[in-house]
Structure 1
């Protein structure tokens, strides 16, 4: 492999190559064990390692790319019985049975 192909890539180069934002890459490093190396305050990447990691499916969110289901819910005040709003209906749809009255 020639020296140019095996060089260290910056986060901006990785983002441009894979069509994602810096935030996505930082999330992948933190939550999905993306192969990255910290050099001082900078992150550096080997393109071949990142490509293999992406091809393995490790970058995908659980559940076919959809957002994962919430694992915990917070107590949210709901309107009085008989009065609903779009927000309270959406909360109930996304977290059934976990929304309670707050005092």
Structure 2
């Protein structure tokens, strides 16, 4: 689930789709979803998170771009890789850069 508790009011907000992608990547890294496991569909996650379908789709596209998830034969997103350290590091770097530019 998404959590905004650790962000101070002066820090720029991450786009919601990036927060969701980071949350899912962390769940995968921690073993909540195994290789080959289906993650919630875009529609399911939209209802679970209370977010729009385009927002969920953007998060899934970001994970797909990094090879973390992929579409299976039934057109559902499944975990492809647990090697997400690079993705997490890149996102952290982008966040720090954005925050330093805001100051």
Q: Is TM > 0.5 for Structure 1 vs Structure 2?
A: no
Structure having the larger proportion of residues in helix: 2
Structure having the larger proportion of residues in strand: 1
Structure 1 or 2, whichever has the larger Rg, is: 1
Normalised by the size of structure 1, how large is the TM-score?
0.31
Q: Which has the higher contact order (CA 8 A, sep 6+)?
A: 2
